[in-house]
Structure formats: structure tokens, C-alpha cells
Amino acid sequence: MIDFKKELNSEQLEVVANGDGYCLVLAGAGSGKTRVITYRVACLLEKGVKPENILLLTFTNKAAKEMLSRVEKIIGKKPDGLWGGTFHAIANRILRATAPLLGYQSNFSVLDQDDSETLLKSCVKELHFFDSKRFPSAGLIHSLYSFSRNAQITLTEAVDWKNSSFSRVAGDIEEATNLYQKKKKSSNVMDFDDLLVNWHEVLQKPAVLKKLADQFQYILIDEYQDTNRLQAAIVKLLASVHKNLLVVGDDAQSIYSFRAADINNILEFPKEFPKAKIFRLETNYRSTPNILNLANDVISQNKKQFKKKLKSHLAELAHPQVAVFDSPFAEANFIRQRVRELQEAGHALRDLAVLFRAAFHAQILEIELAKAGIPYEMRGGMRFFERAHIKDTISILRVVNNLKDEIAWFRVLEIFQGIGHETARMIITKARQSKDLPELFISGIRDGLNKNAQKGWDDFVSIAKILNEKKDQSAGDAVEGILKSVYADYLEDKYENAKDRLDDIKQLGWYAKGQKSLNHFLSDIALDESFGKKNARENQDRLVLSTIHQAKGLEWEAVFLINLASGCFPNERALGEPGGEEEERRLFYVGITRAKRHLYLTYPTTGQRMNYNRPSPFLEDIKDGLIDRKVSDGLGGFTDELPTIQIEEMTTPAPKKKKIDWRVKSFLKDIEDL
């Protein structure tokens, strides 16, 4: 027998003991939601419910394995027969028995992302859409099509919403995806989205629905705020007989709308199921009261939410600190110094994290850490100088700087339409014989190319001419030239996140502004092992650098939230979307609640092009007394020095400090410097 009263707090016990019927469990950050789900399953098994009558759904294989492992540990044996896994894994299992009802054979194959994009690309080529006009890449088409299916909207609506620049070819995109669907079915294959779409479709068959809805007496779902409309529709059908559906989630951590997750699934659960019970888990076992007070204040600004207030199980420590710097370099230098101090205070690097809204926000910090010899790992994106578009940009610069650079030539020419390996080799031979770019332009290369390759060559020449004019000005000007070239169009056509990639290149250009020349800039990157190369073994202790999206569900002793400037966080593009501001605030909340003991919020007062940065409106909205605000004095210190790292927990609240009008001081200092 399990002693549930001993193992669970009162909030958790209430859910485990009374989780019959439709139940919504609002589980705040660090409140033990996985514990609740696994003990609820153990409780059902102890009551005599057969494992095969329980369905446990989650979003990652890792989470599914962890939950099943915990259940086994609690009950003391493996729960053979229990249905547990991701939505896609369970769909695959069910469709193996029911696919013939939809015209598939049971031995259907499942396409991964690369396979899906390869098939889509062949469909677009078969329809000759690549030949006649600017057309999105197969990867971008797949992303738009996937979003439309999971959000249960039309493909045209998805194109208008996600990438309106391709609305002009929405009909052609739809024709390509229709052919893609036909080819999949004739080949007896499904992609990941088909697994969910076909699961939902087969549930429309009365006999299938009756069998499955009868079988699953209890359905439990983790991270319900991350479900999309299609998943919610499937779950509703499965629970239609026994009406035992327990969903666990936190609307305050719904941050994946770009993947078609729909926050309304959790917000409207009581409306969808009027007799639903609502439970709240508000006791946090992760963060200090000082951090939670800030988190509660931040999320209280959202209108569309279930009101809840996290309370800490820990003693108080120092307030979270906002630190303002005159440049991203000063911000990066502060973080480097603070990381060293935390190390000296006994923290491992792996227990520290720097979080950001977008990966390019960390570029200056990456350089600072690498030069200081602090090992780090990048999550939610590749290290800056390893990213494809950064490598492309540097290769283009290398070609302009040195016509004989064969390795760079091959990478550059791969970008352009119609230029294959043999054509590239011919061009490189001509380049090595030319004394400069103007001579190469008139060397007659174009005359020897077919029509398709001529278009690719013309695109390269258009970039090279821009850079040839700028290469003697500065490396930064040369990078800006690439941003104004057809390479920007190439990124727009190929990638869904093209704007983020262009922002990366802008950041590279800003860094390059400080270099003496293009040649010096390229040499600096090549000679310094820090750039683009992993400086840590896999098992080495490393500082974590991560996007906030990638950090969800994780925790660290100390967290730095950086570049909290207006226009950067919240993201300007996200603000233009319905519900965008509230999702950005939820993202800020998620970042804050990753910290256990120490939290630093930072931003530079100057950004790219030396423009003046205002603080994020999220910072301006914070109530007095919840944070300590500090302004850099420009000399490596602060107008009110940051306190040293506290190793022992405080038994009394940190004393309130006199408020510093930090924005005014920072602004006056800028004027004084001018």
C-alpha cells in the first residue's frame, strides 16, 4: 500500500484522490506536476484499474519514459499493458491496426522530416513551379502545410498568417501539397502530421471509436497547454464514453503558438466540459520567494489566464537584480565576471544558465566567453559561427577577398540556382585565372552556362558587385551589402525563420564594424579557435546558453536573462500577432521561473547602429520593491554596487533599498558621453 498522505502535499493529494471525471489541474512552475500524474496513475492501479485501461499522453519520448519509470518505481513493478507515450507514438500504435480502414496497409512507413521535404521537393519540380517564379523551398512549404493541419485551418490561411509574402502563390503551394498527399498514399507512407490526422479520421468510424473509447477508462495528459486543436479533438473523442479526462498544465507557460499550440484548449476547458473540476498546484519547490514574487507580478499583467499565485517552499534570498550597461560588450563582460564569481562561490558551470529571446542575442557573449576560456554549450540553436547562414556570409566575404579560395567558392556557388559541381569547378578555374572581380565578370563565364545556371550566376554577380564596392570601406559595410542583396531573398524563400537568420547577419555586421578591414576581420575569425569550434569535451562542465523556449521545464541555481531591451524582448514581430504580447509575457515568466536562487535581468542601452535602447516594457511594468535596479558606471562598476554572491540563505527578507531612477541616470550619462 502506498502512503499517499506522506508522499504528497495537500494540493497534490487532492488531485490524486479525487481525479475522476473531467479534471483540469493548473500546475504552476516547479509545483510537482509529474509527481501528481504518476501518483494518480499509481492510485488508479492500486484501486484495481487494469493498466490497459489507462492512457497517459505527453509530448516527448524522454518525458514519457520518465513517467513510466516513476510509476514503476512507485508501485514496485512494471505496469505491463499501460498505454503511455507521445501523441504520435500512440497514434502510430493505433493506426497499425486500423490503417486499412483509411486505404493504407498496416505496414506503412513513417517519413521523417528530411524524407518529407525530399518528397515535397520532387512534387514541386514535377509541377515546374521552381522554374517560373520565386517559390518557397520544400522545407518552408512543409512547415506551412504542417501548421495548417495541426491548427485545423486552411493552407491559404496558414500562408497568410505565417508568411504572407507567398500569398501570391498560395494556390500553387496547395497544388503541390495535394500531389504530396497523393504520392504518400500511393507509396503507403505517412508523415508525422498524418499520424495525428489519420488517428482523428479513423475515430470517425463508429466501431473504432466505440472500441477505443470503451477501452480507455482513464486518460491523463501532461503539458496540456501545449496541445493543438487536432490533439484536443482526438482526446475529446477518446474520453466520450467514460468521461474520465485529467489534463495537467499551466496556461502561464503556453509559449508554442508558432508550432500551432492553442492556449484556448486549456483556457476554455471548463467551458468545453462544464462539470469539470479545477485543481491548483501553487506550492513551488524550485525558486526563492524573491524570484516567485517577481514572477507572480509579471504574469499578473496578462488578462487571458487562470489567476494563481505561486508560493515558495524555500527561505528568502536577495532580490532579483536588473543591471543596465552602455553596450552589449559591457553586458557580456559583466556576465563573464559574474559567472566566475559564482564558480568561486562553489557553483558548477552546468548549474548556471544564460537565457535569451533569440539565439543571435548571445553572439557577443559567445565571443567573450570563448576568449575567456569559459566552456559553454548552446541549446535551442547552433553556436553562432556554426550556423549555415553565417558560414554562407563568411564564405561570400572570403571569395570577394581572395578569388583563389576554392573551398569558399564551392560553398558559395552551392547557394545559387542551377550551379552544380562541374559548373562550379569551371567557374573556380576562371576565378583563379582572374586578377580581380571586374575581370572575372567579363570573362565570358555566363555564355557557357545553360539558362538555369545563368540565373544563378547573375545572382552571384549582383552580390559580388555590391561587395566589390564596399570591401575597401569596412568589414561591417561588406556584411551590410549581403543583407541588401539577393542572398536575403534566398533566405526568405528557403527558411521559415528567415527574419531570425537575417538578424544574425545584422549582428555579425555590427561586430565586424569594429574591425580594421575585411582581411583583418576574416583572419581574426580564422585564427581564433574560439570562433565556430567547440572548446569543450562532451563530459566537461559547461555554462548553458539557451533560448527560453528550449529552457522550458529546466532549472538552474543562477539564471541571467539578457538583452531585455524594447524591440528585442518582447519580440516586435510577435507583438503584431493576435495574443502576441501575452505570449511574450508568458515567455518572460518562463525565463524567470527557471532560476532557483539567483536571477539577473540585463540589457544594454545601445544596440546595433548605436541606437539608444529603452528597457523592455516588461521591466518597466515591474512593481517597486521586487527587484534591485543597477546602472553601469561605464568603468566596470555600478552606481550602486551589486552585492556579493550570497552562499548562505538569508533568514530575513533582503532590506528594501532606495529606488534609483535608473533610466534617467543612464540617459544623462549617454548625453554626458556625447
| 31 among annotated binding-site residues | yes
Any catalytic annotation for residue 223? yes
The 3-state DSSP class for residue 554 equals: coil
Written as nine digits, the cell of 209 is 471509436
CA 195 remoteness from chain centre: 23
**Active-site hit among 222, 366, 392, 628:** 222
Instruction: Decide if 219 contacts 138 (C-beta within 8 A).
Output: no
| 33 among annotated binding-site residues | yes
List Cβ neighbours of 344 (8 Å cut-off, separation of 6 or more). Answer: none
Lookup result for grid cell 514541386: 124
- Three-state SS string across 389-433, please? HHHHHHHHHHHHHCCCCHHHHHHHHHHCCCCCHHHHHHHHHHHHH
| 607 among annotated binding-site residues | no
Q: For residue 250, give the nearest of 265, 266, 261 by alpha carbon.
A: 266
**C-alpha neighbours within 13 Å on the C-beta side of residue 595:** 28
List Cβ neighbours of 97 (8 Å cut-off, separation of 6 or more). Answer: 106
Written as nine digits, the cell of 202 is 479513423
List Cβ neighbours of 461 (8 Å cut-off, separation of 6 or more). Answer: 441
CA 110 remoteness from chain centre: 25
CA separation (Å) from 528 to 263, 333, 369, 373, 385? Answer: 46, 19, 13, 12, 12
| 287 among annotated binding-site residues | no
Structure letter (DSSP) for residue 302: -
| 651 among annotated binding-site residues | no
Q: For residue 468, give the nearest of 402, 417, 563 by alpha carbon.
A: 402
Instruction: Decide if 464 contacts 400 (C-beta within 8 A).
Output: yes
**Active-site hit among 121, 280, 471, 594:** 594
Q: For residue 602, give the nearest of 643, 561, 645, 639 by alpha carbon.
A: 561
- DSSP lists the bridge partners of residue 547 as 356
Any catalytic annotation for residue 33? yes
| 29 among annotated binding-site residues | yes
Any catalytic annotation for residue 58? no
Any catalytic annotation for residue 185? no
| 362 among annotated binding-site residues | no
CA separation (Å) from 197 to 95, 215, 223, 513, 608? Answer: 11, 21, 20, 50, 44
- DSSP lists the bridge partners of residue 615 as 565
Residues written for the chain: 674
- Terminal Cα-to-Cα distance of the chain (whole angstroms): 74
**Active-site hit among 117, 172, 223, 366:** 223
d(CA 653, CA 650): 7
- DSSP, residue by residue, 254-265: ---GGGT--THH
Written as nine digits, the cell of 630 is 543597477
The 3-state DSSP class for residue 64 equals: helix
Instruction: Decide if 434 contacts 461 (C-beta within 8 A).
Output: no
d(CA 236, CA 484): 50
Q: Specify the DSSP element, H or E, that contains 87.
A: helix 87-98
Instruction: Decide if 548 contacts 215 (C-beta within 8 A).
Output: no
Instruction: Decide if 649 contacts 351 (C-beta within 8 A).
Output: no
| 353 among annotated binding-site residues | no
**Active-site hit among 34, 152, 301, 639:** 34
**Active-site hit among 12, 253, 423, 602:** 253
d(CA 670, CA 667): 5
Lookup result for grid cell 546595433: 608
CA 555 remoteness from chain centre: 16
CA separation (Å) from 468 to 455, 482, 662? Answer: 20, 11, 45
Catalytically annotated residues = 33-34, 222-223, 253, 594
Q: Which parts are annotated binding residues for ATP?
A: 27-34
Q: Which parts are annotated binding residues?
A: 27-34
